[in-house]
Structure 1
Amino acid sequence: MDFDNSTPIYLQIITLLKKDIATGKLSPGEKLPSTRELAIEYGINPNTSGRIYKEMERDEITFTKRGLGTFVTESQTKIDHIRDDMAKDLINNFINGMIELGYTKDMLIAIIKKESEAK
């Protein structure tokens, strides 16, 4: 996996896992790979895998059953919140990028309408 040097690897993997949860690729209550398996899958240190799961559990995205492993949250409300937050981040990045290019609010709306009608 190619990582972006401007963001810590563990945050990039958390984002990937959150996206998999938000899109349904990972189902509510689904068991996640062990920290060792996650480390192998992404080519990272097992300590980094542990940090990933620790951060996700702190944010209530996952939960751990002692002796069984780490699982995706079963809360659909939490999953919807993750999805909404990711959507807001995408929109804000788009808007900020377009403003940097000199587009106004009206120009943005016109472009969005035009592109969405083409789909």
Structure 2
Amino acid sequence: MIFIDYKDTRPIYEQITEKLKILILSGALESESKLPSVRQLAMELSLNPNTVQRAYAELERAGFIYTVKGRGNFVCESHALLEEKRQELKKKCQELLREAKEVGIDRGELMRYMEEIEDDRD
């Protein structure tokens, strides 16, 4: 489910947060599904429970999960999250396009950059 990259310069809690966000937004973790307990995930990943708790707190603050006292952590309704993230991404794209035009980069060149970046990630 989650793998930690110890060569990554980002803090471990950020890696956990990022990977859980991807799982939630992709639908791999369905709405209302229960997440592993803090202790359980910490044991699976051989981490301090405080690290997992920090990741869960970040996810809750961002609206990806919610906590029920005594029952655990659950995935929020993802449709609203997904739409919100799409709107945020659209705004970022608009800003990127505006900045590119300011420095003389046209749409075609910007798309080539995106394709290069995508190819580098594969």
Taking a change above 3 Å as real, the CA distance of residues 18 and 107 of structure 1, as seen in their structure-2 partners, is: same
| C-alpha contact 2:24 2:78 (8 A) present in aligned 1 | no
Aligned to 1:53: 56
| Pairing of 1:25-64 with structure 2 (within 5 A) | 25-64=28-67
Aligned to 1:81: 84
C-alpha separation in 2, matches of 1:37 and 1:9: 16
| C-alpha contact 1:19 1:83 (8 A) present in aligned 2 | no
- RMSD across aligned positions (CA): 3.1
AA partner of residue 47 (structure 1): N
Identical-residue share of aligned pairs (%)? 38
Q: Normalised by the size of structure 2, how large is the TM-score?
A: 0.67
AA partner of residue 33 (structure 1): P
Q: Normalised by the size of structure 1, how large is the TM-score?
A: 0.68
- CA shift, 1:81, in A, is 2.9
Correspondence for 1:109 among 111, 114, 117 = 111
SS in 1 for 2:29: coil
- CA shift, 1:54, in A, is 1.2
C-alpha separation in 1, matches of 2:48 and 2:33: 23
C-alpha separation in 2, matches of 1:13 and 1:79: 19
SS in 1 for 2:33: coil
SS in 2 for 1:37: helix
- CA shift, 1:76, in A, is 1.4
C-alpha separation in 1, matches of 2:54 and 2:29: 19
| Pairing of 1:3-14 with structure 2 (within 5 A) | 3-14=6-17
Show structure 1 runs of 5+ residues with no match: 113-119
AA partner of residue 50 (structure 1): Q
Show structure 2 runs of 5+ residues with no match: 116-122
